[in-house]
Each structure stands twice: as C-alpha cells, then as structure tokens.
Chains A and B, each alone.
Chain A
Amino acid sequence: MNSGSGPMPDRIRRLLERLIQASVMERIAISVAALFAAVLVGGVLVFISGSFASCRSGLDVAGTTFCYNPMQVYYELFLGALGHPLEGGWSLTNYNLATTLQQTTLLIFAGLSVAVAFRAGLLNIGTQGQLVVGGLATAVTVVFAASIIPSGFVGTVVLIPIGVLAGAIGGGLYGAIPGVLKAYADANEVITTIMLNFIAVGITSTLLSWQFQDPESNNPRTEPIPEYAEIPTVPYIGFSGGMDFSLLALGFAIALMIGIAWLFARTSFGYELRTSGIQPAAAAYGGVNEKRMTVASMTLSGALGGIAGAFWVLMVHGSWLENVPSIGFDGIAVSVLAGNNPLGVGAAAFLFGILESGSNSIGTATDVPPELVGILTGLIILFVAMPEFFRMIGTRYIDVRPTEPARTDGGRAPADETTEDPRGADDA
C-alpha cells in the first residue's frame, strides 16, 4: 500500500507522520511519559480493585475498605525487581535482581529472534515454538552427550557449547519450515508460525512421554542435565549458584545482540536482509535471491529462538519442562518495543525482566491477586509499546519522503533512515 490508497483522515495521517519523524530522544521521552501514564492508570485501578477485595487491614475511606496500596504495589514492581535497593542490607547480587537479569537474558534472545524476522519483512509469531523445540533438543542432547564426555571442567567446556548449538539447530530447523513454506508455497508466515507453535507443543510433549520423561519425577520433565553442564556463575563478583542466573549468559546475550546489530549494519547479508524487508522488489532487482533470503532469515530467527530455549534449560531449570513459559510470545512485545532495533532489544528486555521479577515481588509482598498484577504489567507494555507500534504501522502505510533532496546516503531507503541512523533523522 502507498499513500494514495484508502481514505485516511488528515489528523490521523499527520499524527502518524509526526510519530514516524520523531527523533530518538523524542521517542525515548514518549516512552517514559507512557510509562508514567500507565503507572497512573494502573494505580487507580489497583486502588479501586482493593475496595472489592476483603482483607483484615486496609485503608478506610467513607465506609469502604481499600485493601491494596498502589504505592506499595509499584514500589514492589520496580524496586522489588532490583531487590529493594533503598532498604538496609542490600547487596548487588541479590536474588530478585538475579531473576530480573535471568528474564532479561532469555528475552534478549527471544526479542532478537523476532526482530531479525521483522527486519526481513517477516512476522515470526513462532519464536515460542522454536524455543520449545530448541529447549528440548538442548536437554536431550546434553543428557546424551554427558554419558560420553568426561565430567568436571572438561564437561562444562564441551557440553555447554554443544547444548547451545543443539538448541540453535533445533530452533533453526523448526524456523526454516515456515520460511520454506513462505518462499516456495507462498504460505503466509503469520498463519504457519502460529500453527507451528501448537504443533511444537504437541510434538515435544509426545516425545517427552514416549521417550524422555524423567522416571524420578512426578512432573512432566526430562532427565536433569548434570550439574557441571549448567551455565557456571562467575566466582566472587557473580551471583551465587542457586539463583539460576549467570553473568556469563547475560554477557553472551549482549555479545549476540551487538553481533546482530553489526550483521545488519556492516555485512552484505544484513544489508540484503533489510532491503528485502523494506522493498522486496528493489532487493530482487539488486540481485537478492528472495526465496533464499526468506528461508535464511527465518532460519536465523528460529535459531535465536532455539538459543533462548537452550539457556532456559541450561541456566534456569537444568532440564526441559513441558510447561514452557511464554518467553517467545513476550519476545514479540520486546521486539516491537525496541522498534526492531537489535540494540533496543536489550533495553526492552530489561524492562520486561523488571516487570516479570517485580510481579513475583508483588505476589509475595502484597495480597494483590496475580490476575491484577498481570493487568498492571500489561498496561505498562501496552502504553509503552503503542507509540512504537503505530510508528511501525505508519511506516508501512504512509510514504514519508525526506524533506530535503535525496543525497548519496549509501542507497538506504528513506523510510529506514529514522530507525537506522538517528543522526540522519535529526538533521532531516
């Protein structure tokens, strides 16, 4: 679609244009304002909900007892996620912060997975399925490999890369399926990836009960991997072993994030991938094999989803559990929030990590039911992501031409300029 198609009221068009042309600083300011708005709305909601709950102690106003304290709820949500830094006895390597960073790490992988596909013009809703498949591949491979490879330090050094690789291959192959279907059968990847999520759950739980169930456990899970195959923590400065988080994993995630950003910005593959996303016809004209590009970008996206599954197994649980949390779906929101920018994924994932860990804090420190906590975090995501979401919609449907004549800018498409190069947007 281009600017000529469909009636669109002028005001909406102008608003969208304004959003699209916003500079990076403006976008950050919008996000922060949105965050405050979400807190305000959520706070009122929590306070009012408190009047419907029953409790032993609460705030009495005009005969009604309000059970929930919104200030306390948001205190727990944001500061609880960091381990209450304003209270006494705080240490940096506390359990709550470990949970926050653990979720951040997993969401960086999942967010990158979605972002890579997005930038190639593909909506990969299937990161969750790729994560599920990759995670199982990791758990099974490591348990099998551990029976051959010596234990101890050698085991750690050999088994972890094998596990991550197995996850990447499992997730990558599973991600390649919708890529192939899209490229060679013209099947809409949104539909196929959604469907493949269900298939992933079905296949893995069948495989689990058929072959890989841990006979020692009543829960549906695979045999635990040996302790030395779990991601080791950094001695002295890192978090303690029981906290299921390792700085090494976060370091790897950040390195991967920078790697993907570099891939986009500096390699011909990344350039072709982005061009296919913005202007497929131009990419094809420029010699990009469109079909192969579709399969390759979906495979890369799936591999990143699989790596998220691998770390979920190797760092968090030490085995694969049938009930995989929705890290892959959250990855979509992370990517949207980050404007599909690989480096932005890190910041967005950290916000999600805080919300996840802060929700736990609220759950244990207050009587607010988990459903309401879900609404609060949902509101924050909705408010913060919506401007970015409208921006993305806007770039699709509105043709924003640069106000100054085109100059030699390395052949970049104009619409991409704001997302790619902040300085370019500022001086436009």
Chain B
Amino acid sequence: MFTLAAFMVRNRRQFLGGAGAIGLAGLAGCISGFGDESDHAVQIGTVYATGGLGDDSFNDMAKRGLEDAQDDFDIAITETEPSSESEFESAQRTFAESGVNDLINCVGYAQADALAENAPDYPEQDFIIIDEVVEEDNVRSYTFGEPEGSFQVGHLAGLLTEREFAAGDGETIPNESVVGFVGATETPLIESFEAGFTAGVEYANDDAEVVSSYVGEFNDTAAGQEAARTMYQNQDADIVFHAAGRTGIGVFQAAQDEGRFAIGVDDDQSLSNEDFADVILASMVKRVDTAVYSAIEDTVNDEFEGGVERLGLDDGGVSAVYGDTLGDEIPEEISTQIEESKQAIIDGEIDVPHEL
C-alpha cells in the first residue's frame, strides 16, 4: 500500500496526465465513439414476453428473427424486456410514442390486452403480435399450430415411454407408461399445447397416462424443476414436455438429476441449451423467428399489412425436431410412425383437439 502511494506521489504528474487523457478519450467516446444507430433505413422496436431474453426458447427465437433480419437488411433495433404483465402497456406505448419505429413487435399472447388498447391510439404505427389475434388494421397477428406440433412430440413420447429405451443421460421406465407436461400459465394458448400433446400420447398408446402441472410463471426455473422432479420421482414419469419458456430450463435440470428425458419447446433446445442436450429427446420447434423476420421483410419492402397469419405443420411453422445428441438413437420404426402421423395431420386424417 505504501509503495503504491509513494509511486503515485512520484508519478503523480504522469498519472494525472494519463488519467486526463483517458478521461478526455472517454468523453470524446461519449459523443462519437459508441456507434450511432440512428442512420439506419428502418427502425424496429421489440417488446419481449415476461420470460425475457436468455430463455433459450420463445424470446430468444424472436431475437434470432431480428438478428437474421439485421444481417440481411439495414435496420436498427431497440428492445425492452418487461418483467411483469402490468408493464406491457407502457412499454408498447413508449415505443409508439417515440414515433421513430417503423414496426413494433409484441412478443407473446399476454400483450394482447395492452395492444388492443394501444393500437387504435396509434393508427399510423405498425405492430405485430405473436401467438394472439388483435383485430386492428395496423396489427398483423401471427399464430401457430401449437396443438399439431405438440401432438407430434406427444406421439413420440407415447411410443417411447412403453418400451425400454436408454440414450445419453436418460432412460425410460418400461413398465410404467406415464409422461408429463409442465405448463407456465393456465391459459388457452398453453393449454392447447397440453391438449395436442395428450392427444398425441393417446394416439400412440391408449394406456399411457399424462400428468400435468402449471407453475404459473414463465420465468420461475426453480418451480419448473420442482414440478418436473415430482413427476419423475413420485409419479413415475419418464418423459416430460414443457411449454413454459425459461421455467422449462428447470424441467431439463430435473431430467438430468433424475436420469430421465425432457422435450423442449419453441427452439431446438438441444442446440440452444447444449448443457442439457443429453436429456432432450426432441423439441417442438415453433418458428417465431420466421414470423418476426417476415414481418420485418415486409416492412423494409413497404408491403406490411395487418391481418392474421397462421404458421402450421404443413409449412414448417411448427415441427417436431429430434435432439441433436439423442436424435440418432431414436429407433427408425418410431421416426417412421411420427412421419406418418405428421402427414395424416396435414391431410386432415387426424383431428387434433385445440382445447383440453
């Protein structure tokens, strides 16, 4: 300490000079050094769902759409991550009020109430909303065929749970046919995942049982882990599918702890969440990124119009994607059956329920 002080005194002049230079450079940086984002042709604002960025699923998929668009077009993006539903209205309004955004992305069904209130107040402002329909001229609503996609992974889970199957870190319980579903909120959208999933499980195996739990939050990893652990330990479930955003990371942790399997959602979570690749059998991928990208593309090309766009199984809007690590170990007879049921759904031979 003393030597440092002595050094400081001796070199005080130099030190001050250096500090001054850094300070000046810093000040200059404040004015110019940090990139200026305002000279882009198109500005895009995004309000994320409450799970926030870093959920490795829903919000990060939306973000990927933005990044892809940023690679292809000259756009500037601004984003905000509200932490609770009560903040959506003001977050959307802040973007709309600034008047500089050509498009505002509202990610998640929970923003529908707020957007229904805001959209008519800003008739010149274009919005999109993911997962919910808001009927206004300046709003484009993107919905997905979640029940159909969930049916696919349910079919897979139903086929695997009754047989002896071990891969990566997990194994099934062959003499028990129980699979689980962990949802975030008890809302029609999330329930439609469960409805499709259950139908898929029953299609594969009439005797299989589906246990389900709703934890109430999209960003409560601990609760997700607790719910899934109960299923694995007490209810003899061997495969758990989640539709719960960041909460689902807890489901993967539980699967890893218990040596069982999990199924991801929205993104191929064996890639977005590599730590758990050895327990993620498959993911029900929902191309939120495609939706965001196409909306931006239309905005850049001045072709944006309101309306409803539905992305389903037939156009790849939703799909069952096998895990990156475990996918190869899934027996071919099973993947063939999954492929057949996919075609059957597209052809309308299987009617997938949308409600519980």
Say which residue of B29, B80, B85, B189 sits within 8 Å of A59 (CB atoms).
Answer: B29
How far, in whole Å, are A34 and B332 apart by their CA atoms in the complex? 67
B189: A residues at CB distance < 8 A = 218
How far, in whole Å, are A243 and B89 apart by their CA atoms in the complex? 10
Cβ < 8 Å to B, chain A residues 392-416: none
Which residues of B are at the interface with A, using a C-beta cutoff of 8 A?
Answer: 25-27, 29-30, 33-37, 45, 52-53, 70, 78-81, 83-87, 89-91, 93-95, 97-98, 109-110, 112-113, 118, 121, 132, 185, 187-189
Indicate if the CB atoms of B81 and A218 lie closer than 8 Å. Answer: no
Indicate if the CB atoms of B90 and A99 lie closer than 8 Å. Answer: yes
How far, in whole Å, are A365 and B94 apart by their CA atoms in the complex? 10
Given A95-B97, A325-B84, A58-B113 contact (CB < 8 Å): no
Indicate if the CB atoms of B93 and A95 lie closer than 8 Å. Answer: yes
How far, in whole Å, are A347 and B83 apart by their CA atoms in the complex? 26
Specify the chain A residue showing the minimal Cβ separation from B122.
A242
Say which residue of B29, B53, B80, B93 sits within 8 Å of A69 (CB atoms).
Answer: B29
Interface flag for A5 (CB, 8 Å):
no
B113: A residues at CB distance < 8 A = 217-219, 221
Indicate if the CB atoms of A323 and B85 lie closer than 8 Å. Answer: yes
Q: How large is the interface on A (under 10, 10 to 19, 20 to 34, 35 or more residues)?
A: 35 or more
A69: B residues at CB distance < 8 A = 29-30, 34
Indicate if the CB atoms of B78 and A364 lie closer than 8 Å. Answer: yes
Q: Is the interface of B mostly helix, strand, loop or mixed?
A: helix
Given A57-B37, A95-B94, A218-B132, A323-B81 contact (CB < 8 Å): no
Q: Given A242-B93, A322-B85, A364-B78, 15 other A-B contacts at CB below 8 A?
A: A56-B70, A59-B29, A66-B29, A67-B34, A71-B30, A96-B94, A217-B112, A219-B110, A220-B85, A243-B93, A321-B86, A324-B86, A360-B80, A363-B81, A367-B79
How far, in whole Å, are A369 and B30 apart by their CA atoms in the complex? 19
How far, in whole Å, are A20 and B109 apart by their CA atoms in the complex? 53
26 A-B residue pairs with CB within 8 Å: A58-B35, A59-B34, A60-B33, A61-B29, A67-B34, A68-B34, A69-B29, A218-B109, A218-B132, A218-B187, A219-B112, A219-B113, A219-B187, A242-B93, A242-B121, A323-B85, A325-B84, A360-B91, A363-B79, A364-B79, A364-B91, A364-B98, A369-B81, A370-B52, A370-B80, A370-B81
Interface flag for A72 (CB, 8 Å):
yes
Interface flag for A317 (CB, 8 Å):
yes
A317: B residues at CB distance < 8 A = 86, 89
A189: B residues at CB distance < 8 A = none
Q: Is the interface of A mostly helix, strand, loop or mixed?
A: mixed
Say which residue of B29, B30, B36, B94 sits within 8 Å of A364 (CB atoms).
Answer: B94
How far, in whole Å, are A202 and B30 apart by their CA atoms in the complex? 48
Specify the chain A residue showing the minimal Cβ separation from B120.
A242
- Smallest CB–CB gap between B33 and chain A, Å? 4
* Residue in B29, B37, B79 with the greatest tally of chain A CB atoms within 10 Å: B29
How far, in whole Å, are A219 and B116 apart by their CA atoms in the complex? 13
Indicate if the CB atoms of B25 and A61 lie closer than 8 Å. Answer: yes
B78: A residues at CB distance < 8 A = 364-365
Contact with B along A197-223 (1 / 0, CB 8 A): 000000000000000000001111100
Interface flag for A244 (CB, 8 Å):
yes
Contact with B along A34-73 (1 / 0, CB 8 A): 0000000000000100000001111111000011111110
How far, in whole Å, are A60 and B110 apart by their CA atoms in the complex? 40
Given A317-B89, A364-B95, A57-B34 contact (CB < 8 Å): yes
- Smallest CB–CB gap between A386 and chain B, Å? 25
Specify the chain B residue showing the minimal Cβ separation from A374.
B83
- Smallest CB–CB gap between B245 and chain A, Å? 15
Specify the chain A residue showing the minimal Cβ separation from B87.
A325
How far, in whole Å, are A220 and B86 apart by their CA atoms in the complex? 10
- Smallest CB–CB gap between A209 and chain B, Å? 8
How far, in whole Å, are A221 and B185 apart by their CA atoms in the complex? 13
Indicate if the CB atoms of B86 and A363 lie closer than 8 Å. Answer: no
B110: A residues at CB distance < 8 A = 218-219
A68: B residues at CB distance < 8 A = 34
Indicate if the CB atoms of B187 and A323 lie closer than 8 Å. Answer: no
Cβ < 8 Å to B, chain A residues 9-53: 47
Contact with B along A299-334 (1 / 0, CB 8 A): 000000000000000001100011111000000000
- Smallest CB–CB gap between B185 and chain A, Å? 8
- Smallest CB–CB gap between A373 and chain B, Å? 10
- Smallest CB–CB gap between A102 and chain B, Å? 9
B36: A residues at CB distance < 8 A = 57
Indicate if the CB atoms of A244 and B89 lie closer than 8 Å. Answer: yes
A325: B residues at CB distance < 8 A = 84, 86-87
The 9 closest A-B pairs by CB, nearest first: A57-B35, A71-B30, A59-B33, A363-B80, A323-B84, A69-B34, A95-B97, A59-B29, A218-B187
B35: A residues at CB distance < 8 A = 55-58
A72: B residues at CB distance < 8 A = 30, 34
- Smallest CB–CB gap between B193 and chain A, Å? 14
B26: A residues at CB distance < 8 A = 47
- Smallest CB–CB gap between B336 and chain A, Å? 38
B45: A residues at CB distance < 8 A = 364
- Smallest CB–CB gap between B355 and chain A, Å? 13
A220: B residues at CB distance < 8 A = 85, 185
Specify the chain A residue showing the minimal Cβ separation from B188.
A218
B132: A residues at CB distance < 8 A = 218
B81: A residues at CB distance < 8 A = 363, 369-370
Specify the chain B residue showing the minimal Cβ separation from A56.
B35
A217: B residues at CB distance < 8 A = 112-113
How far, in whole Å, are A244 and B79 apart by their CA atoms in the complex? 22
How far, in whole Å, are A95 and B132 apart by their CA atoms in the complex? 27
* Residue in A218, A324, A363 with the greatest tally of chain B CB atoms within 10 Å: A218
Indicate if the CB atoms of B86 and A323 lie closer than 8 Å. Answer: yes
- Smallest CB–CB gap between A367 and chain B, Å? 8
- Smallest CB–CB gap between B142 and chain A, Å? 16
How far, in whole Å, are A361 and B97 apart by their CA atoms in the complex? 12
Cβ < 8 Å to B, chain A residues 79-137: 94-96, 99
